[in-house]
Amino acid sequence: MYVIITRTLKIEIDHDKCKVCESYECVKACSIYGRNILRIKNGLPVTFLPPEDVKKRDNECLACEIYCPYNAVRISELEVM
């Protein structure tokens, strides 16, 4: 499970499900509706930014989860202590 932490969310991407994907809708949606934090590397969606930059840049639009045709992206709220 690939995990990205934003300001208030945890984005989990199941790379096993991504292996059959050829359209990369999550990355396309991130570039259109989000702040373009995802890229394809070795056929899998990953962020190219350091963790602190992800927190500053991501707008938490949820587009990657909404547009993934394989339900490989799961977004949940971070638990506040």
pLDDT reading at 75 higher than 90: yes
- The residue-averaged pLDDT of 62-66 equals 97
Alpha carbon 2 to its chain's center: 9
For the chain, give every domain's residue range: 2-77
> Cβ contacts of residue 42 below 8 Å, gap of 6+?
none
Topology at the third CATH level for domain 2-77:
Alpha-Beta Plaits (3.30.70)
Range 7-46 burial, b when 16+ CB lie within 10 A, else e:
eeeebebeeeebeebeebbbbebbeeebbebbeeeeebbb
Instruction: Read off the pTM.
Output: 0.91
pLDDT tens, 34-56? Answer: 999 999 999 999 999 999 999 99
Mean pLDDT, residues 63-79 taken together:
95
